[in-house]
Amino acid sequence: MDKFTTLTGVAAPMPLVNIDTDMIIPKQFLKTIQRTGLGKNLFDEMRYDDAGHEIPDFVLNQPAYRNAQILIAGDNFGCGSSREHAPWALADFGIKAIISTSYADIFYNNCFKNGMLPIVLPQAQVDILMEDARKGENARIAIDLEAQTVTSADGQVFTFELDPFKKHCLLNGLDDIGLTLEKAASIDAFEALATQARPWV
C-alpha cells in the first residue's frame, strides 16, 4: 500500500450531502474482478450523459479540477453499499484525501486500506475549505498526516483527530494482514479456548 505523509493540491468542491457509493461508482462497474481501472467511471452517472459525453458542469469535468487530489464533500460522504470499488475509483482517479464533516463507517474504513485519508473537520472549517476549493487552482490546500493538520489556502491551520493505528498504517504504508499474521499465536490460542467454550461455532 502507498504511504501517505503530506499532500498539497487542488481540492474539488462537492457540497452535496449524503453522496452515496452508488453515485461514486454505479453498480454496472462492480462486475470487474480487478481493483484498478475504475477512475474513468468515478461518479459516472453525474459525470457523463446517456451518450457517454462529459457533462461540462460536473465539477471533475471542469479544467481546474481534472487533476484534483482532494475532495471537499458534504455530510455523510460514502453512505450506502460496502463496495470498496468506491475508494478504488477515487484513488484511480487521483484523489488521495477527502475532507467532510462525516463519513459512512464502512467507506471510512475502506479508504485507509487504499492509502487514502478521509479527514473529519467541523462544519465551519469544512465551509472555509469548500470556499478555497471553489477557487480551483488559485487555492491549494495542504495536509500533513504526521501533524494531523489541514492548512487552508490563506494559512489557517485546522487540526483533525485520527485513530493512532490507522495513522501508523497510513504513514508507513503497512499491510494489515501482515500485521495480524504476526499475532497468529494469539489467534490460535483464542480459537482453542473458544472451541471449548462454544463448540457449536
Q: Which residues bind another protein (CB under 8 A)?
A: 15-18, 20, 22-23, 26-28, 30-35, 45, 50, 74-76, 79-84, 87, 102-106, 109-110, 113-114, 163-165, 176-177, 179-181, 183-184, 186-187, 190-191, 194, 198-201
Nearer to another protein by C-beta: 93 or 107?
107
**Strand partners of residue 27:** none
Q: Identify the CA nearest to 72 among candidates 127, 109, 29.
A: 127
Cβ 142 to another protein shortest distance, Å? 25
Give the 3-state secondary structure of residue 142: strand
Cβ 67 to another protein shortest distance, Å? 26
Contact present, 66 and 56 (Cβ < 8 Å): no
Contact present, 60 and 43 (Cβ < 8 Å): yes
Cβ 111 to another protein shortest distance, Å? 9
CA–CA separation, 70 vs 10, rounded Å? 6
Cβ 186 to another protein shortest distance, Å? 5
Q: Identify the CA nearest to 118 among candidates 133, 132, 103, 129.
A: 103
Nearer to another protein by C-beta: 9 or 39?
39
